[in-house]
Amino acid sequence: MGQIFKEPPGKMIGEFLRSRFYTIRQINKKYAIPRIKTTRIVRVSLFMLRIYLLIMVVILIYKFTTLVI
């Protein structure tokens, strides 16, 4: 029976994941410095957004844990 894979599947998967993580690291590096000028309104808006999302996440986690338990 001929060899199907050039390399063991485990090694191929590892290689694939490594290349994906490398791409993600490159994206993070590319956009590391936000281009928008951090004016007062930008700072306040992003802060409010973080608070809003935090509340939503807490509510979601609470709901789904109570649903499961």
Partner 1 sequence: MSFLARLFYKYRRIAKALKLFLIIAGPGIIVMVADNDAGGITTYTATGSKFGYGLIWFLVLLGPIAYIVQEMTVRLGAVTKRGHAEAIFDAFGPFWGWFSLIDLGLVDWLTLITEFIGMTAALSIFHVPPLATVIGVSILMGIMVMQGRYWTWEKMVLLFCALNLIYIPAAFLVHPSVSNIFNQGIVPHLPGGFNNETFFFLMANIGTTIAPWMVFFQQSSVVDKRLQEKDIPWERVDTAVGALFTVVVAVFCVIVTGTLLSGVPVESAAQAAQMLRPINNYVGTFLAIGLFDAGLLGAVCISLTTSWAFGEVFGWAHSLNYKAKEAPWFYGAYFFAIISAATVVLIPGSPLVLITLFVQVMAVTLLPAALVFLLLLLNNEELMGKYKNTKFQNIVGFSIVIGIVILSTMYSVGVLFPKLLG
Q: Please report, as ranges, the residues that interact with partner 1 according to CB under 8 A.
A: 23, 27-28, 31-37, 41-42, 45-46, 49, 52-53, 55-56, 59-60, 63
Q: Which of 33-63 are b and which e, b meaning 16 or more Cβ less than 10 Å from the residue's Cβ?
A: eeeeeeeeeeeeeeeeeeeeeeeeeeeeeee
Min. distance of Cβ 21 from partner 1 in angstroms?
Answer: 13
Min. distance of Cβ 9 from partner 1 in angstroms?
Answer: 20
- Between 12 and 46, name the residue whose CB sits nearer to partner 1: 46
User: Which residues are within 8 A (CB) of 5 and not within 5 positions of it... i.e. 6 or more apart?
Assistant: 12
